Amino acid sequence: SLREGTKDRVESVDIKVLNSILADQKEKMKTEYHQSIQDHKKVNDNLQRHKTAAEDELRESKRASVLLKNDNRYIRQQLQIKDTELRELQASDELRELKRGSVLLKDDNKYIRQQLKIKDTELRELQASIYKK
Compute the distance between CA of residue 82 and CA of residue 90 in angstroms, rounded to an integer. Answer: 12
pLDDT exceeding 90 applies to what percent of the chain?
68
- pLDDT recorded at residue 57: 96
Q: 20-29 burial, b if ≥16 CB within 10 A, otherwise e?
A: eeeeeeeeee
61-119 confidence digits (pLDDT tens): 999 999 999 999 999 999 999 999 999 988 888 888 888 888 888 989 999 999 999 99
pLDDT at 7 over 80: no
Report which of residues 29 and 6 the model is more confident about.
Answer: 29
Confidence tier at 8 by pLDDT (50, 70, 90): low
- pLDDT recorded at residue 82: 95
Compute the distance between CA of residue 124 and CA of residue 49 in angstroms, rounded to an integer. Answer: 109
**Cα separations (Å) of 18 from 24, 28, 31, 40, 97?**
10, 15, 19, 32, 115
- pLDDT recorded at residue 46: 97
Compute the distance between CA of residue 111 and CA of residue 114 in angstroms, rounded to an integer. Answer: 5
- pLDDT recorded at residue 6: 65
Mean pLDDT value of segment 10-39:
90
pLDDT at 15 over 90: no
Compute the distance between CA of residue 40 and CA of residue 47 in angstroms, rounded to an integer. Answer: 10
Helices (H), the chain: 2-132
Compute the distance between CA of residue 24 and CA of residue 130 in angstroms, rounded to an integer. Answer: 153
Compute the distance between CA of residue 23 and CA of residue 21 in angstroms, rounded to an integer. Answer: 5
pTM (2 decimals)?
A: 0.45
